[in-house]
Amino acid sequence: MRMSLASAAAALVVLGAAAAAQQLQPLAPPPNFDAVQIKTADLGNRTYMLEGEGGNITVAVTDGGVIMVDSQFAPLHDKIKAAIAALTPQPIRYLIITHFHRDHTGGNEAFGKDGATIVAHENVKSRLASGSRNGLTGNVVPPAPAIALPKQTFTDEVIIRLQGRAAAVRHIPAVHTDGDAYVYFADANVLATGDIVTFGRYPNIDFVYGGSIDGMIRGVDILLQAANDATRIVPGHGPVGTKAMVRDYRAMLVTARDRVQALISAGKTEDEAVAAKPNADYDAKFGVDARATGNFVRVVYRSLKK
């Protein structure tokens, strides 16, 4: 049953009170959406990756319309639509959502108004309908309007078919959130992972909504079984990758988990664990700032303590 706005607001107040018990981290600076350019990568067999600001988008073109995976931020709708129009005059028939975070769902409302059928795991619909809170910053995202909610939901898996093409959508429980799904286009051998996999940066782990570092490792193992050496991997963030790159990513997750667990076992507080810079080698490899390196340690720490 869909939660009422009053109930949703009450739930967010409770979440906010819980957050107050932990030190909140500063928000990331807002993107300059006017400067964002949508870049298109051809993955073969009329399948593409669009990269802009937020989660990567996968596009599968058919003679009867487009299957699209994720929708980035709301202000980018027109740019994304124009990038797809450069590939095909066909409309977007299905919009598959890999999880509820707004850098992957912000365009839902506009694409829903365009006529796309939004598809996602049932937990994604619940999170969007009730609103959510960032466990590190305390930032609250209000409930999404009805048009932005998934019209087709599933529990374990669903296959979206359109004009001879098929997108196999499968849920992996309690990974990066409680509603993550990956999407496989067998005819193109393209696997869209959502934020279970990111390349060139640390992933987010939403410990408030079912995510954990151990869950991430388990999820990556499932993706490695789903892929072969020729599979093109569309990560949640970062460049198109390969199965070998996913193996390297898994090794990073395991190493980070073990290092943070050692600090917890030694009695270190969260701030002490951040100050210890346990992943300094990966910090340098990724070239990320102190906020990103610290936040990754914090989400790993909290998921292990939880």
Q: Per-domain residue ranges for the chain?
A: 5-244
230 half-sphere exposure, CB direction, 13 A CA radius: 6
Residue 241 in contact with residue 229, Cβ under 8 Å?
Answer: no
Using a pLDDT cut of 70, give the percent of the chain over it. 93
Provide the H-helix boundaries in 63-130.
Answer: 77-85, 102-105, 108-113, 122-130
- Long-range interactions of 275-281: CB distance < 8 A, separation 24+: 279/255
195: its two tokens: 């934020």
Q: Answer whether residue 22 shows pLDDT above 70.
A: no
Angle (nearest 5°) at CA 263 between 279 and 204: 50
Collapsing DSSP states into helix, strand and coil, what is residue 229? Answer: coil
pLDDT at site 28: 82
pLDDT at site 6: 43
Region 275-288: mean pLDDT is 97
Amino acid identity at 69: V
Regarding predicted confidence, which is higher, 306 or 96? Answer: 96
Q: Answer whether residue 55 shows pLDDT above 90.
A: yes
pLDDT at site 10: 45
Region 190-219: mean pLDDT is 98
Distance CA 232, CA 155 (A): 26
* Residue 198: φ, ψ to 5°: -135, 145
- What CATH number is given for 5-244 in this structure? 3.60.15.10
